[in-house]
Structure 1
């Protein structure tokens, strides 16, 4: 099959990444670009959607998808659409563990400078999953089990992760998950949650004020430059994580998040 020219791509499509400048293998770059586009679309797409978003012609996409299906990274649904496949789960779990390993020194610094338990969390589908933690040295401290999954609307990390997601996408997520009350202070309406996200954008950090667990306050910020949506947080007894303590802790939290983001971006670019 002849190599398609640039004129084969739809005029309004976003071109797939080119390997011309990086000396990489173009078919691999295209395959990973398609997987990322599938993830961005919710995990299931049709070939025409991928062609429109990637700028690649249908025959090229079909050939790449056949290979990904054969390898188990994509599966074809009965409706002929394509979905992310089960072999990606193993890769994702290993990557999450490695991400947690990279984060631990930064979380340890956060504990050292704030005195409170530090966490790192990712947005996985519609849920927040904790991938790393370093506990406080206080006898009274907060524990969140690594691997634990929670809904975003009742957590500081959830607010930090969703603060810059378009409002219609946030509403769609909340419609899928529901907004059950973990405590009497949990936000349970989409409008209330969107107002909280506006406050996160204004302040530069998120607060969980007894919303996930009574007596516990959490401060969280997103990790800039992370290859996947990530946030770091500290959590502790409300009697320690006061408004006065918040003013002291937030700059530390923001600096640690920025340093972690740089480290992750450097790791992602290593060997390129």
Structure 2
């Protein structure tokens, strides 16, 4: 991508320094979009051939405007959900596209189903659907945030490269193809979550079902959640996955 700073000058009402900063900020977003995974400031600086202090200032500005998610504890940055608010059609299309699958899952299991997106060290619920005839349901609002140690976060961590120090719960989730727990937000209840497959790398999207009580047939319901995740993989916009 050419640098916008060369396209005009102050005499024409065009501030080269502002244009260069804007161009560099856009390039940071492009690098993160192309790699499809979180990067450190140094990794971004190396790709853009810029100094780390310059890149770090760009990152903090983009984070302030929510174009980047909150950096992880080890200093990795990724695209933020603020990009969706800039293009309302993308957010609307994501919700409209995913809604039939999430609703079908909720109705089949008679409970609440949610679509989650990774945002830094949290998972944001961007869509929540409650089964129409559910006798009881876990109330989950859109925009709610859950930590990465939640069931939804566990589903996303399943797609990270395996490590020698992975705990037994993570290894079990990988072997099953879904994550499941009998505790939801400090209550005795069941959550089952599956990552939406992403061929480019670790998943940033998951679908989760929430039951208001502890259920005994997790092994039968888990594959239904996985099936919904596979259906969503062909529907979720590439820039989000």
Class of the TM-score when normalised by the shorter of the 2 chains: 0.5 to 0.7
1:225 and 1:262 in contact (8 A); partners too: no
- The CA distance in 2 between the partners of 1:119 and 1:130, in whole Å, is 6
Q: Which of 131, 139, 144 in structure 2 is aligned with 1:143? A: 139
2:122 and 2:148 in contact (8 A); partners too: yes
Indicate the residue corresponding to 1:50 in structure 2: 44
- The CA distance in 1 between the partners of 2:178 and 2:199, in whole Å, is 17
C-alpha distance after superposition, 1:68-103 (max 9, x if no partner): xxxxxxx863xxx64334162642344555423321
2:111 and 2:136 in contact (8 A); partners too: no
Indicate the residue corresponding to 1:263 in structure 2: 235
Q: Which of 94, 100, 103 in structure 1 is aligned with 2:95? A: 100
1:101 and 1:132 in contact (8 A); partners too: no
SS of corresponding position for 2:219: helix
- Cα distance 1:220–1:87, how it changes in 2: closer, same or farther (>3 A)? closer
SS of corresponding position for 1:210: strand
Over the residues paired in the alignment, what is the CA RMSD in angstroms? 3.7
Indicate the residue corresponding to 1:209 in structure 2: 182
Q: Which of 158, 161, 180 in structure 1 is aligned with 2:156? A: 161
- The CA distance in 2 between the partners of 1:41 and 1:76, in whole Å, is 12
- The CA distance in 2 between the partners of 1:108 and 1:226, in whole Å, is 25
- The CA distance in 1 between the partners of 2:83 and 2:49, in whole Å, is 28
How many residues of Structure 1 are paired with residues of Structure 2 in the alignment? 195
SS of corresponding position for 2:136: coil
- The CA distance in 2 between the partners of 1:147 and 1:134, in whole Å, is 13
- Cα distance 1:35–1:250, how it changes in 2: closer, same or farther (>3 A)? closer
Q: CA deviation at 1:132?
A: 0.6
1:127 and 1:152 in contact (8 A); partners too: yes
- The CA distance in 2 between the partners of 1:96 and 1:195, in whole Å, is 36
Indicate the residue corresponding to 2:83 in structure 1: 91
- The CA distance in 1 between the partners of 2:113 and 2:207, in whole Å, is 7
Describe how 1:225-236 pairs up with structure 2 within 5 A.
225=198, 229-236=204-211
- State the TM-score, normalizing by the size of structure 2: 0.66
Q: CA deviation at 1:28?
A: 11
Indicate the residue corresponding to 2:12 in structure 1: none
- The CA distance in 1 between the partners of 2:176 and 2:37, in whole Å, is 30
Gaps of 5+ in 2: 4-23, 68-80
1:226 and 1:261 in contact (8 A); partners too: no
Describe how 1:6-85 pairs up with structure 2 within 5 A.
32-36=29-33, 40-41=38-39, 45-46=41-42, 49-50=43-44, 52=46, 54=47, 57-58=49-50, 77=57, 82-83=59-60, 84-85=62-63
- The CA distance in 2 between the partners of 1:96 and 1:160, in whole Å, is 22
- Cα distance 1:39–1:259, how it changes in 2: closer, same or farther (>3 A)? closer
2:28 and 2:44 in contact (8 A); partners too: no
- The CA distance in 1 between the partners of 2:59 and 2:83, in whole Å, is 19
